[in-house]
Amino acid sequence: MGSPKHVVAQLLSETQAETLAQAGRALWDVAASTLHTVFGEPVRLESADGLLLMPEEAAGRLPARHLVVQLEISTSSEQAAGCYLFLETDGAARALGSEADDPDDQEQQTIVVASTILGQVLQALNAKVLGPTPAGLVAALDDVVANTGAALLSEVEDPGLWLTLTLARQRPLTAYLFIPGTALDIVANGWGTVRAASDASGAAAAFSVSQQEIDEAELIEESRQPSPPPKEPTPISSAVAQKAQFAPLAPPPATQQRQPLDLIADLQLEVTVELGRTSMTVAEVLGLGPGSIIELERIAGEPVDILVNDRLIARGEVVVVDENFGVRIVEVVKKGGERALEEAS
Protein backbone atom coordinates (compact mmCIF):
# COMPACT_ATOMS: atom_id res chain seq x y z
CA MET A 1 0.00 0.00 0.00
CA GLY A 2 1.10 3.58 -0.60
CA SER A 3 0.15 7.22 -0.43
CA PRO A 4 -3.35 7.82 -1.86
CA LYS A 5 -1.96 10.82 -3.77
CA HIS A 6 0.67 8.71 -5.54
CA VAL A 7 -1.90 6.02 -6.35
CA VAL A 8 -4.31 8.57 -7.87
CA ALA A 9 -1.46 9.99 -9.97
CA GLN A 10 -1.17 6.56 -11.65
CA LEU A 11 -4.85 6.69 -12.62
CA LEU A 12 -5.37 10.38 -13.38
CA SER A 13 -2.90 13.25 -13.71
CA GLU A 14 -0.44 14.77 -11.22
CA THR A 15 -2.54 17.94 -11.15
CA GLN A 16 -5.74 16.00 -10.38
CA ALA A 17 -3.93 13.97 -7.72
CA GLU A 18 -2.81 17.16 -5.96
CA THR A 19 -6.33 18.60 -6.21
CA LEU A 20 -7.83 15.44 -4.70
CA ALA A 21 -5.26 15.50 -1.88
CA GLN A 22 -6.38 19.04 -1.01
CA ALA A 23 -10.03 17.96 -1.25
CA GLY A 24 -9.41 14.98 1.02
CA ARG A 25 -7.85 17.15 3.73
CA ALA A 26 -10.76 19.61 3.65
CA LEU A 27 -13.35 16.81 3.70
CA TRP A 28 -11.68 15.04 6.63
CA ASP A 29 -11.48 18.26 8.68
CA VAL A 30 -15.25 18.68 8.48
CA ALA A 31 -15.97 14.95 8.91
CA ALA A 32 -13.75 14.77 12.01
CA SER A 33 -15.50 17.77 13.56
CA THR A 34 -18.92 16.18 12.92
CA LEU A 35 -17.83 12.79 14.31
CA HIS A 36 -16.43 14.56 17.40
CA THR A 37 -19.89 16.01 18.00
CA VAL A 38 -21.63 12.66 17.43
CA PHE A 39 -19.28 10.50 19.52
CA GLY A 40 -18.50 13.11 22.16
CA GLU A 41 -14.77 12.47 21.76
CA PRO A 42 -12.05 13.42 19.23
CA VAL A 43 -11.71 11.14 16.19
CA ARG A 44 -8.29 10.97 14.55
CA LEU A 45 -7.43 9.52 11.14
CA GLU A 46 -4.59 7.23 12.22
CA SER A 47 -3.78 5.94 8.73
CA ALA A 48 -5.02 6.15 5.14
CA ASP A 49 -3.34 3.66 2.78
CA GLY A 50 -4.13 3.45 -0.92
CA LEU A 51 -4.01 0.87 -3.71
CA LEU A 52 -4.93 1.00 -7.39
CA LEU A 53 -7.32 -1.92 -7.93
CA MET A 54 -9.75 -3.29 -10.47
CA PRO A 55 -13.27 -3.81 -9.03
CA GLU A 56 -12.86 -7.61 -8.92
CA GLU A 57 -9.61 -7.19 -6.97
CA ALA A 58 -11.39 -4.91 -4.52
CA ALA A 59 -14.15 -7.52 -4.12
CA GLY A 60 -11.54 -10.10 -3.12
CA ARG A 61 -10.48 -7.92 -0.18
CA LEU A 62 -13.94 -7.67 1.39
CA PRO A 63 -14.61 -9.27 4.79
CA ALA A 64 -17.01 -12.23 4.71
CA ARG A 65 -19.63 -10.33 6.72
CA HIS A 66 -19.71 -6.67 5.80
CA LEU A 67 -21.92 -3.64 5.34
CA VAL A 68 -21.90 -1.70 2.08
CA VAL A 69 -22.62 2.03 2.11
CA GLN A 70 -23.55 3.06 -1.43
CA LEU A 71 -22.66 6.69 -2.09
CA GLU A 72 -23.23 8.89 -5.12
CA ILE A 73 -21.15 11.92 -6.11
CA SER A 74 -22.93 14.32 -8.48
CA THR A 75 -22.63 17.84 -9.87
CA SER A 76 -25.11 20.53 -10.83
CA SER A 77 -24.47 19.64 -14.49
CA GLU A 78 -25.84 16.12 -13.83
CA GLN A 79 -22.53 14.26 -13.85
CA ALA A 80 -22.72 11.40 -11.36
CA ALA A 81 -20.77 8.36 -10.23
CA GLY A 82 -20.95 5.92 -7.36
CA CYS A 83 -18.41 4.92 -4.73
CA TYR A 84 -18.58 2.36 -1.95
CA LEU A 85 -17.72 2.37 1.76
CA PHE A 86 -17.30 -1.05 3.41
CA LEU A 87 -17.42 -1.89 7.12
CA GLU A 88 -16.72 -5.27 8.70
CA THR A 89 -20.03 -6.02 10.43
CA ASP A 90 -18.82 -7.18 13.85
CA GLY A 91 -16.10 -4.53 14.03
CA ALA A 92 -18.58 -1.80 13.12
CA ALA A 93 -21.02 -3.05 15.76
CA ARG A 94 -18.33 -2.84 18.44
CA ALA A 95 -17.22 0.63 17.30
CA LEU A 96 -20.76 2.01 17.03
CA GLY A 97 -22.19 0.40 20.15
CA SER A 98 -24.82 -1.63 18.27
CA GLU A 99 -23.85 -5.13 19.43
CA ALA A 100 -26.61 -7.69 19.98
CA ASP A 101 -26.82 -11.40 20.81
CA ASP A 102 -28.69 -12.22 17.61
CA PRO A 103 -26.49 -11.68 14.49
CA ASP A 104 -29.43 -10.51 12.37
CA ASP A 105 -30.54 -8.01 15.02
CA GLN A 106 -26.96 -6.77 15.36
CA GLU A 107 -26.67 -6.35 11.60
CA GLN A 108 -29.94 -4.42 11.39
CA GLN A 109 -29.06 -2.18 14.35
CA THR A 110 -25.63 -1.46 12.92
CA ILE A 111 -27.15 -0.51 9.56
CA VAL A 112 -29.49 1.96 11.27
CA VAL A 113 -26.73 3.49 13.43
CA ALA A 114 -24.23 3.69 10.56
CA SER A 115 -26.71 5.25 8.14
CA THR A 116 -27.76 7.81 10.78
CA ILE A 117 -24.19 8.87 11.59
CA LEU A 118 -23.15 8.97 7.93
CA GLY A 119 -26.22 11.05 7.15
CA GLN A 120 -25.02 13.64 9.68
CA VAL A 121 -21.50 13.61 8.19
CA LEU A 122 -22.73 13.97 4.59
CA GLN A 123 -25.02 16.83 5.56
CA ALA A 124 -22.03 18.73 7.01
CA LEU A 125 -19.78 17.91 4.03
CA ASN A 126 -22.37 19.11 1.52
CA ALA A 127 -23.05 22.33 3.42
CA LYS A 128 -19.46 23.31 4.25
CA VAL A 129 -17.25 21.82 1.55
CA LEU A 130 -18.90 20.21 -1.47
CA GLY A 131 -21.86 22.52 -2.07
CA PRO A 132 -19.76 25.72 -2.38
CA THR A 133 -17.61 24.25 -5.20
CA PRO A 134 -18.10 25.74 -8.68
CA ALA A 135 -19.48 22.41 -9.90
CA GLY A 136 -21.99 22.22 -7.03
CA LEU A 137 -20.73 18.83 -5.85
CA VAL A 138 -23.12 16.75 -3.74
CA ALA A 139 -22.52 13.48 -1.88
CA ALA A 140 -25.64 11.39 -1.26
CA LEU A 141 -26.21 8.17 0.65
CA ASP A 142 -28.10 5.77 -1.63
CA ASP A 143 -28.41 2.77 0.68
CA VAL A 144 -26.75 0.66 3.37
CA VAL A 145 -26.97 -3.09 2.78
CA ALA A 146 -25.25 -6.24 4.04
CA ASN A 147 -22.93 -8.71 2.30
CA THR A 148 -23.56 -7.57 -1.29
CA GLY A 149 -20.23 -5.85 -1.95
CA ALA A 150 -18.97 -8.35 -4.52
CA ALA A 151 -22.19 -8.17 -6.53
CA LEU A 152 -22.17 -4.36 -6.52
CA LEU A 153 -18.51 -4.16 -7.53
CA SER A 154 -19.12 -6.59 -10.41
CA GLU A 155 -21.20 -3.83 -12.05
CA VAL A 156 -18.29 -1.35 -11.91
CA GLU A 157 -16.00 -1.19 -14.96
CA ASP A 158 -13.41 1.43 -13.90
CA PRO A 159 -10.27 0.74 -11.90
CA GLY A 160 -10.25 2.82 -8.76
CA LEU A 161 -8.63 3.91 -5.53
CA TRP A 162 -8.94 1.42 -2.66
CA LEU A 163 -8.46 3.18 0.69
CA THR A 164 -7.96 1.49 4.04
CA LEU A 165 -8.90 4.02 6.72
CA THR A 166 -8.19 3.55 10.43
CA LEU A 167 -10.10 5.87 12.78
CA ALA A 168 -8.57 6.19 16.24
CA ARG A 169 -10.87 6.75 19.21
CA GLN A 170 -11.90 4.86 22.35
CA ARG A 171 -13.58 2.31 20.09
CA PRO A 172 -11.43 2.27 16.91
CA LEU A 173 -12.94 1.58 13.50
CA THR A 174 -11.43 0.38 10.22
CA ALA A 175 -13.26 1.25 7.00
CA TYR A 176 -12.57 0.48 3.35
CA LEU A 177 -13.46 2.92 0.57
CA PHE A 178 -13.47 2.10 -3.17
CA ILE A 179 -13.65 5.18 -5.41
CA PRO A 180 -13.82 4.36 -9.15
CA GLY A 181 -11.86 6.53 -11.57
CA THR A 182 -15.04 8.20 -12.80
CA ALA A 183 -15.88 9.47 -9.31
CA LEU A 184 -12.30 10.66 -8.73
CA ASP A 185 -12.38 12.54 -12.04
CA ILE A 186 -15.69 14.23 -11.22
CA VAL A 187 -14.42 15.47 -7.85
CA ALA A 188 -11.04 16.59 -9.24
CA ASN A 189 -12.61 18.53 -12.11
CA GLY A 190 -15.44 19.90 -9.98
CA TRP A 191 -13.23 21.15 -7.18
CA GLY A 192 -12.54 24.86 -7.10
CA THR A 193 -11.92 27.59 -4.58
CA VAL A 194 -13.50 26.23 -1.42
CA ARG A 195 -13.50 27.62 2.08
CA ALA A 196 -14.44 25.03 4.72
CA ALA A 197 -14.47 25.19 8.51
CA SER A 198 -11.85 22.75 9.78
CA ASP A 199 -12.81 22.79 13.46
CA ALA A 200 -15.20 24.30 15.99
CA SER A 201 -13.03 27.42 16.30
CA GLY A 202 -13.82 28.37 12.70
CA ALA A 203 -10.33 27.92 11.21
CA ALA A 204 -10.57 27.64 7.39
CA ALA A 205 -8.44 26.71 4.41
CA ALA A 206 -8.85 27.69 0.73
CA PHE A 207 -8.10 25.38 -2.18
CA SER A 208 -8.20 26.09 -5.91
CA VAL A 209 -7.67 24.51 -9.32
CA SER A 210 -7.25 26.61 -12.45
CA GLN A 211 -9.52 26.48 -15.48
CA GLN A 212 -6.53 25.37 -17.59
CA GLU A 213 -6.01 22.38 -15.29
CA ILE A 214 -9.68 21.49 -15.58
CA ASP A 215 -9.55 21.71 -19.39
CA GLU A 216 -6.46 19.49 -19.53
CA ALA A 217 -7.91 16.80 -17.26
CA GLU A 218 -8.99 13.59 -18.95
CA LEU A 219 -12.67 12.87 -18.41
CA ILE A 220 -13.56 9.24 -17.84
CA GLU A 221 -16.83 8.28 -19.42
CA GLU A 222 -19.45 7.36 -16.87
CA SER A 223 -21.02 3.95 -17.23
CA ARG A 224 -24.78 4.29 -17.33
CA GLN A 225 -27.35 1.58 -16.83
CA PRO A 226 -30.36 1.42 -19.18
CA SER A 227 -33.46 3.05 -17.77
CA PRO A 228 -36.28 0.69 -16.72
CA PRO A 229 -39.43 0.68 -18.88
CA PRO A 230 -42.03 3.27 -17.83
CA LYS A 231 -44.65 2.05 -15.41
CA GLU A 232 -48.31 1.99 -16.46
CA PRO A 233 -50.14 4.76 -14.59
CA THR A 234 -52.99 3.93 -12.28
CA PRO A 235 -56.12 5.70 -13.54
CA ILE A 236 -57.89 8.25 -11.39
CA SER A 237 -60.90 6.57 -9.88
CA SER A 238 -64.35 7.97 -10.46
CA ALA A 239 -65.67 6.15 -7.40
CA VAL A 240 -67.29 8.13 -4.61
CA ALA A 241 -64.83 8.83 -1.79
CA GLN A 242 -65.80 8.75 1.88
CA LYS A 243 -64.04 10.22 4.86
CA ALA A 244 -62.19 7.60 6.90
CA GLN A 245 -63.51 6.88 10.38
CA PHE A 246 -61.14 5.63 13.08
CA ALA A 247 -61.71 4.33 16.56
CA PRO A 248 -59.98 6.22 19.40
CA LEU A 249 -56.60 4.78 20.38
CA ALA A 250 -56.62 2.70 23.52
CA PRO A 251 -53.77 3.16 26.03
CA PRO A 252 -50.77 1.11 24.82
CA PRO A 253 -49.68 -1.89 26.89
CA ALA A 254 -46.60 -1.52 29.05
CA THR A 255 -43.49 -2.31 27.02
CA GLN A 256 -40.30 -3.89 28.18
CA GLN A 257 -37.62 -1.29 29.03
CA ARG A 258 -34.84 -1.25 26.45
CA GLN A 259 -31.37 0.18 26.89
CA PRO A 260 -31.02 3.05 24.35
CA LEU A 261 -27.99 3.40 22.15
CA ASP A 262 -26.34 6.38 23.81
CA LEU A 263 -24.33 6.98 20.67
CA ILE A 264 -27.30 8.31 18.67
CA ALA A 265 -29.79 9.06 21.41
CA ASP A 266 -29.88 12.80 20.67
CA LEU A 267 -29.82 12.63 16.86
CA GLN A 268 -33.00 13.64 15.05
CA LEU A 269 -34.59 11.14 12.64
CA GLU A 270 -37.27 11.88 10.08
CA VAL A 271 -40.24 9.50 10.51
CA THR A 272 -42.65 9.24 7.59
CA VAL A 273 -45.95 7.36 7.40
CA GLU A 274 -46.83 6.49 3.82
CA LEU A 275 -50.47 5.81 2.98
CA GLY A 276 -49.80 4.68 -0.58
CA ARG A 277 -48.38 5.51 -3.99
CA THR A 278 -49.50 5.71 -7.61
CA SER A 279 -48.29 6.93 -10.99
CA MET A 280 -50.00 9.61 -13.05
CA THR A 281 -49.46 11.19 -16.43
CA VAL A 282 -48.62 14.85 -16.77
CA ALA A 283 -52.11 15.48 -18.17
CA GLU A 284 -53.72 13.83 -15.15
CA VAL A 285 -51.64 15.87 -12.71
CA LEU A 286 -52.49 19.10 -14.52
CA GLY A 287 -56.15 18.14 -14.36
CA LEU A 288 -56.21 17.83 -10.55
CA GLY A 289 -58.31 20.29 -8.63
CA PRO A 290 -60.57 20.58 -5.57
CA GLY A 291 -62.74 17.48 -5.41
CA SER A 292 -60.42 15.31 -7.52
CA ILE A 293 -59.87 11.77 -6.24
CA ILE A 294 -56.54 9.98 -6.59
CA GLU A 295 -56.76 6.21 -6.31
CA LEU A 296 -53.74 4.68 -4.56
CA GLU A 297 -52.28 1.24 -5.15
CA ARG A 298 -52.77 0.20 -1.53
CA ILE A 299 -55.89 -1.81 -0.69
CA ALA A 300 -58.30 -0.31 1.85
CA GLY A 301 -57.51 -1.57 5.35
CA GLU A 302 -53.97 -2.64 4.44
CA PRO A 303 -51.28 -1.51 6.95
CA VAL A 304 -49.44 1.71 6.12
CA ASP A 305 -45.64 1.89 5.78
CA ILE A 306 -43.51 3.55 8.49
CA LEU A 307 -40.16 4.86 7.25
CA VAL A 308 -37.22 6.26 9.22
CA ASN A 309 -34.84 8.34 7.09
CA ASP A 310 -36.55 6.86 4.00
CA ARG A 311 -35.90 3.27 5.17
CA LEU A 312 -38.90 0.99 5.77
CA ILE A 313 -38.76 -0.22 9.38
CA ALA A 314 -42.37 -1.15 10.27
CA ARG A 315 -46.03 -1.24 9.19
CA GLY A 316 -49.04 -0.12 11.17
CA GLU A 317 -52.68 0.88 11.27
CA VAL A 318 -53.98 4.44 11.40
CA VAL A 319 -55.61 5.46 14.70
CA VAL A 320 -56.77 8.65 16.39
CA VAL A 321 -54.89 10.05 19.41
CA ASP A 322 -57.05 12.77 20.96
CA GLU A 323 -57.55 15.04 17.92
CA ASN A 324 -54.49 13.89 15.98
CA PHE A 325 -53.84 10.97 13.69
CA GLY A 326 -51.40 8.31 14.89
CA VAL A 327 -50.13 4.90 13.84
CA ARG A 328 -50.23 1.70 15.88
CA ILE A 329 -47.35 -0.59 14.84
CA VAL A 330 -48.54 -4.06 13.85
CA GLU A 331 -45.36 -5.38 12.19
CA VAL A 332 -41.64 -4.65 12.49
CA VAL A 333 -39.90 -5.21 9.16
CA LYS A 334 -36.93 -7.53 9.42
CA LYS A 335 -33.87 -7.56 7.20
CA GLY A 336 -34.84 -7.78 3.52
CA GLY A 337 -38.47 -6.77 4.10
CA GLU A 338 -37.77 -3.28 2.74
CA ARG A 339 -37.39 -4.75 -0.74
CA ALA A 340 -41.16 -4.96 -1.03
CA LEU A 341 -41.37 -1.18 -0.77
CA GLU A 342 -38.72 -0.72 -3.47
CA GLU A 343 -40.55 -3.09 -5.82
CA ALA A 344 -43.82 -1.24 -5.22
CA SER A 345 -42.11 2.02 -6.17
> Is 197 in contact with 28 (CB distance < 8 Å)?
no
Q: Where are the alpha helices (DSSP H) in 197-268?
A: 211-216
Residues 189, 63 share a domain = yes
- Strand-pairing partners, residue 2, are 50
Residues 59, 186 share a domain = yes
Residues 180, 301 share a domain = no
Final residue before a domain boundary, out of 155, 184, 216: 216
pLDDT of residue 332: 85
Q: Write the CATH number for 271.
A: 2.30.330.10
Separation of alpha carbons 182 and 150, rounded Å: 19
Nearest residue to 135 via CA among 225, 25, 31, 209 = 209
- Strand-pairing partners, residue 80, are 74
**Would the pTM count as exceeding 0.75?**
no
Residues 189, 309 share a domain = no
Residues 193, 104 share a domain = yes
Separation of alpha carbons 161 and 5, rounded Å: 10
For 236, other C-beta atoms within 10 Å of its C-beta total 17
pLDDT of residue 209: 40
Burial 137-171 (b: 16+ CB within 10 A, else e): bbbebebbbbeebeebbeebebbbbbbbbebebee
pLDDT of residue 25: 95
Residues 205, 93 share a domain = yes
Report CA 115 to chain centroid distance, whole Å. 6
Q: Write the CATH number for 59.
A: 3.40.1550.10
Q: What is the DSSP string of 189-217?
A: HH--SEEEE-STT--EEEE---HHHHHHS
pLDDT (tens, 9 = 90+) of the chain, 345 residues, equals 679 999 999 999 999 999 999 999 999 999 999 999 999 999 999 999 999 999 999 999 999 999 999 999 999 999 999 999 999 999 999 999 999 999 988 998 899 899 999 999 999 999 999 999 999 999 999 999 999 999 999 999 999 999 999 999 999 999 999 999 999 999 999 996 443 333 333 333 333 444 444 344 433 333 444 545 555 554 544 445 555 555 565 565 555 544 445 656 777 778 899 988 889 898 888 889 899 999 888 888 889 999 887 788 889 998 888 888 899 999 888 755 554 444 445
Per the structure, the complete domain to which residue 155 belongs is given by 4-216
Residues 191, 44 share a domain = yes
- Is residue 253 one of the residues assigned to a domain? no
- Strand-pairing partners, residue 307, are 272, 312
- Is residue 246 one of the residues assigned to a domain? no
Mention every residue, 6+ apart, whose C-beta is less than 8 A from residue 45.
28, 32, 165, 166, 167, 168
In the chain, how many domains are there? 2
